[in-house]
Amino acid sequence: MTLSHSRKAFPLFLLLILSTTSIQHAVAQPTTGEVRGKVVDASTNEPLIGAQVSIRDTKTGTTTTISGEYVLRRLEPGEYTIIARYIGYKSLSRVVKVQAGVTASADFALTPTTVQADELVVTGVGTATEKRRLSAPVDAITQEQIERTPTNSIDQLMQGQVAGVSIGMASGLPGTGSRIQTRGVKSAVANTLPIVYVDGVRVDVGDNFGVGTGGTVSSSLAQLVTGEIERIEVVRGGAGATLYGSQAANGVIQIFTKKGKAGQTRFKVAAQTGVDSPELKFIPDDFPPSLLFQNGFFQQYTANINGGADNVTYNISGSARSNRGFLSKDQAQDELQNVAAGVRAILSDKLDAEFSTSFIRNSFGRVNQGNNIFSLLGGLTTGNNFRSNTIAAAGTDNRDSLFSIWQLPEYREDVNRSINSLTFGFNPFKEFSNKLTVGLDYNKREARFQTPIQTSQAFGAAPTALGTIVRSDREFLQLSLNYVGSIKLPDFGPVSNTISLVGEGIRNNERVIGGTGTGLAAGTRDFDQSGTVTGFEGGSGIFFGGIAIQDQIGISNNIFLDLGLRLDVSTAFGRDVATVFAPKVGASINLSDFDFYPESMKSILSSVKLRGAYGRAGNTPPPFTRDRTFGAPSFLGTAALTFANPGDPTLKPEITTTIEGGFDAGFFNDRVSLEFTYSDARTTDALFAVPNDPVTGLGNQLRNVGGLANLVFELSLKANVYQAENVDIQARLNFSSVYAVITNMTDANGRPIPDFAAGGFAFAGLRIAPNRAPGAFRANRLAQEADGTFRGRIIFDQFNGAQPIPSRFGSFSFDITLFKDFSISAMAEFSWGNSVLNVLEPLRMNAGFENSLRRIPGFVSIVNAGAQPGAAVSIPGNFQSFGYFFIEDARWIKIRDITFRYRNVLSQLGIRNLVFTASVRNPIIFGTQTTGVDPEVNWARFGGDIDLGSTAGANYSAPRMWRFGLEYSF
């Protein structure tokens, strides 16, 4: 049996078939012909390098060489539609007749465009689909954009690139991940992170690990370096995410790695060096920065080989990165080694395969930060224990010795991660394609936090135990199997019809194990060589499966309808819940392609597409939340039973239903493009923490009772501002407006559910409360007495209208290319409409900082009221009353990056393809209104679940990353 006979075989049997068959070699027939041609820029006639040239409805394709030329070989005689595509240009197609033994010619002159209607995307649509057919937006971050961004992590790479997606740093320290919000906040309890696929494989991106260092946790997003990225697609949720089911309410990010291009073997070596210099804007100037910071040396070396024959291409790369980091004593050191390979093979005219693998080793350090009692920056900023003129530590107020003690703790984390993807494509005939992907993401992390002395020494207590080691290991394994089949039915008059079937199964297991040793033996790095040893363990597992069917209908190639249905099962659903359904419906109309569209309009409004969609996606409850569970902590040598999760057998995913509409328009011959989308996303059955009667002794239980709404405007404007032979200026603006609100807070019996916490502190918390933004600030404040004084009486739980989620954000960027080889790009991001709680200010008040005290109305009388007879130091009221005064406007504007690229630096010497780059990331911050805190960099993780940020103080901003690189290809 050969594969040519297996046309009717069910795709899932592919594996079996493959293991028993030999694949027919695609031997060149003497009866074939070929097509050759050149792809150029229509305006300048310059060759376009790397343009894609493919034959419609087949897997046959190639890319243009450095001279813009291409060749498609071994084509059976017949008529072919050949399409040439290039990013930033309008695609062109041409019908070519191929005859045996003859070379046909097809040249393409592509015109620049800001409208990406012809761009192919695959995310959320089952099969590769042109953007003009989409009823809901799918954004693509191209290789050019990736090259322009001097960063090494996916989250930073995406900052400012996609309208509707807000990406805020949780910390500037290594190993941490950003807070990503796509179109607001759709859950009151779950993380806002979208799901992420690498080459079709679901990968772990959770903020989920770490030994406590003051609100900072490690994120798996930080180790998603996956070889060389070809492109990233982003779906913001709604109808676009429906095919991804009950975990996709926050959208989907797909990363595609390079698999090489046919042609001669190409080598690329690159070296990058630079400095991470600390951002000192938010650091108080009353101590020398050199105590705490350094300019950390950065170096990175990359080697890459790619090439291949027509039917097998490959891309193999390796890189090593070393960064001493911006904290003194190399405390923020970050080392990374990475090898990756991607291979694409066309095994026959019906069968192809892709394989990608990457292994990452990352080691990094961190320090205590935030209001952690051992946070050095916090201690310095608040002055506690460091100022003799205020309240000093009992044992010592010797600044130097305290400083040294606080610098002793050492945090180290090692991550080993491997992401593997294997995809088989099987097209038994032109209209029927099948794709099966098997994936594996393995992630092993090991953290060690060593404090060589007894920490309370910093407060003058007698050293009773000599040091502590806290160890924690996390092992995560996720296996996934994904099938996408697509069949194009015969056209019925002007109506085309493509049906796709998606099947997905994901299984993951996570285990965390750790130990603590206190009272260490001298010099040990093993936690068991200590006076007291304790251990802990935790684990979870989830299986998630879904099938989806989709029908894409095209009418006259101008109107497109999109119908889909997804069905999910998961072990996270309650026992009484079997499956969950999610439908989607969408339509797009390319108005300007109709005959009635006046030709005269095209010079002004050159293209118009209207689109609208309805879709549902979900958020799965955390594993085992459905079960009634018990805890058994150790107590005096015996496990002591306690109540834990109350359990709910009816638990199911929260469902976000989105109705969205918008238009894509091109102006002035598509030199300017505008995309506008309005979406209304309503989350029903939202998981809210519902209290039990305290009489039952049970705590809160997540139940599907709540409702949230997110109303979002997104606008994306691109323009080819100026184009001439030697000058090309492009500009881009993204802007989004998000209104998020809790719409329903009653239980199944109509009883109101009390507010519950989503982060923050008792004196100023982020709350889930009816008719307010998720995480609305609720704080205590001092009451003013009738005589106008403030005597320490506290008014509790006042909402002041502040919210943690930015309501307006976006980015502005431009790219200038001069004389083809020299380019400058820059991007600025902005965000406003939210607030942060500055937790340093209450501490500074305690330390007697006049400027902090003055922010409280009537602070003099507080001092008087707080003065206790016999007390050596007067203390202004109490902590609990301070929250309200320190909720600060969190607006910011940041220049994210500025990059210069100079290609062909030494072309005069005959050395071509040598590229010099100089860039800086995060160079300038302005427009902030906070006091001594970076409004973007904030923390307060809450139970590893929802993370709205907005608690700031003594966090390290991302450093200014200066980078200089040379890249040579040959």
Partner 1 sequence: MNIKTAFKRIFLTTLLATTALAISSCNSNPTVVDNPTITQESLVLFSGGSATQLLQGLRRQMTLCVGITSQLSAYASDDYRNIFTFLSANVDNIRALTSQDLAIAGVGGVYFRLQQLVATCDFGISNIIPADASLTAPQRQNALAQARFYKGLAILMLAENHISFPLTERGPAVPARAALDTAIAQFNAAAAGLSAPAFVPNPVFTINFITQRLALARAWRQAGNRDSAAFYAQAAINTPGSAGYAFRAQYDAQNLTNEVFPFVYTRTSRDLQVLPRLDYLDPKYTALDSPIPVLKIEEAHLILAEVELSRNNIANAKTNLRNAITAALRADSISGFPANPRIGNPNSAAVTVRADASAPAIPGLVRTRPGPITVYPTSFTSVRDTNAVGSISLGIGVSANLATANTVADLFRILYLMRQEIFFLEGRRMSDLGIRIPLMQRQLDVNPSLGVGDGLTVAAVPSYIPLGTDMDAFTGTTAVTCAVDMNRVLAANRSQVSPFPMP
Pick between residue 159 and residue 516 the one whose CB is nearest to partner 1: 516
Nearest to 703 by CA among 804, 644, 621, 809: 621
Distances (CA, A) of 323 to 129, 171, 273, 388: 41, 17, 9, 37
Residue 788 CA to residue 644 CA, distance in Å, equals: 48
Query: At CA 322, angle to CA 319 and CA 326, rounded to 5?
Result: 145
Pick between residue 23 and residue 102 the one whose CB is nearest to partner 1: 23
Residue 113 CA to residue 926 CA, distance in Å, equals: 33
Cβ 468 to partner 1 shortest distance, Å: 12
Residue 486 CA to residue 243 CA, distance in Å, equals: 14
Cβ 336 to partner 1 shortest distance, Å: 25
Pick between residue 102 and residue 394 the one whose CB is nearest to partner 1: 394
Pick between residue 326 and residue 790 the one whose CB is nearest to partner 1: 790
Q: What are the two backbone dihedrals, phi and then psi, of residue 351, each rounded to the nearest 5 degrees?
A: -130, 130
Q: Which residue carries 């080989």 as its tokens?
A: 305
Cβ 862 to partner 1 shortest distance, Å: 12
Give one word for 376, left, alpha or beta, with left for phi > 0 and alpha for psi -120 to 50.
Answer: alpha
DSSP label at residue 855: T
Quote the longest CA-to-CA distance of the chain: 105
Confirm if 617 and 647 have CB atoms less than 8 A apart.
no
Residue 876 CA to residue 197 CA, distance in Å, equals: 53
Pick between residue 89 and residue 777 the one whose CB is nearest to partner 1: 777
Pick between residue 644 and residue 924 the one whose CB is nearest to partner 1: 644
What tokens does 310 get?
A: 């027509």
Cβ 873 to partner 1 shortest distance, Å: 6
Pick between residue 244 and residue 314 the one whose CB is nearest to partner 1: 314
DSSP label at residue 724: -
Cβ 34 to partner 1 shortest distance, Å: 20
Pick between residue 507 and residue 912 the one whose CB is nearest to partner 1: 507
Residue 123 CA to residue 705 CA, distance in Å, equals: 31
Cβ 488 to partner 1 shortest distance, Å: 27
Pick between residue 489 and residue 873 the one whose CB is nearest to partner 1: 873
Pick between residue 457 and residue 710 the one whose CB is nearest to partner 1: 457
DSSP label at residue 112: B
Cβ 572 to partner 1 shortest distance, Å: 9
Pick between residue 76 and residue 537 the one whose CB is nearest to partner 1: 537
Residue 373 CA to residue 455 CA, distance in Å, equals: 10
Cβ 427 to partner 1 shortest distance, Å: 17
Pick between residue 594 and residue 635 the one whose CB is nearest to partner 1: 635
Cβ 280 to partner 1 shortest distance, Å: 29
Cβ 384 to partner 1 shortest distance, Å: 9
Cβ 697 to partner 1 shortest distance, Å: 3
Pick between residue 545 and residue 858 the one whose CB is nearest to partner 1: 545
What tokens does 755 get?
A: 């507010």
Confirm if 666 and 614 have CB atoms less than 8 A apart.
no
Residue 85 CA to residue 88 CA, distance in Å, equals: 9
Cβ 959 to partner 1 shortest distance, Å: 32
Residue 369 CA to residue 714 CA, distance in Å, equals: 35
What tokens does 957 get?
A: 């901003």
By residue count, the chain amounts to 970
> What residues form DSSP beta bridges with 276?
296, 961
Question: How many CB atoms are located within 10 Å of the residue 581 CB?
Answer: 11
Q: Which residue carries 């320190």 as its tokens?
A: 886
Pairing of strands 914-926, 960-969: antiparallel
Pick between residue 151 and residue 356 the one whose CB is nearest to partner 1: 356
Confirm if 376 and 328 have CB atoms less than 8 A apart.
no
Pick between residue 712 and residue 742 the one whose CB is nearest to partner 1: 742
> What residues form DSSP beta bridges with 798?
779
> What residues form DSSP beta bridges with 784?
790
Confirm if 144 and 87 have CB atoms less than 8 A apart.
yes
Cβ 422 to partner 1 shortest distance, Å: 6
Number of Cα atoms under 13 Å in the Cβ half of residue 130: 20
Pick between residue 2 and residue 105 the one whose CB is nearest to partner 1: 2
Pick between residue 371 and residue 899 the one whose CB is nearest to partner 1: 371
Confirm if 687 and 702 have CB atoms less than 8 A apart.
yes
DSSP label at residue 227: S
Cβ 923 to partner 1 shortest distance, Å: 39
Cβ 436 to partner 1 shortest distance, Å: 10
Cβ 268 to partner 1 shortest distance, Å: 21
Residue 104 CA to residue 101 CA, distance in Å, equals: 10
Residue 9 CA to residue 17 CA, distance in Å, equals: 9
| Beta-sheet strand order (sheet of 92-98) | 61-63, 52-55, 78-85, 92-98
| DSSP secondary structure, 338-407, as one string | EEEEEEEEE-SSSEEEEEEEEEEEEEEEE---TT-TT-HHHHHHH-TTT-TTSPPPSS---HHHHHHHHH
Pick between residue 289 and residue 697 the one whose CB is nearest to partner 1: 697
Query: At CA 950, angle to CA 157 and CA 410, rounded to 5?
Result: 70
What tokens does 323 get?
A: 């960064």
Cβ 416 to partner 1 shortest distance, Å: 16
What tokens does 958 get?
A: 């991302």
Cβ 505 to partner 1 shortest distance, Å: 7
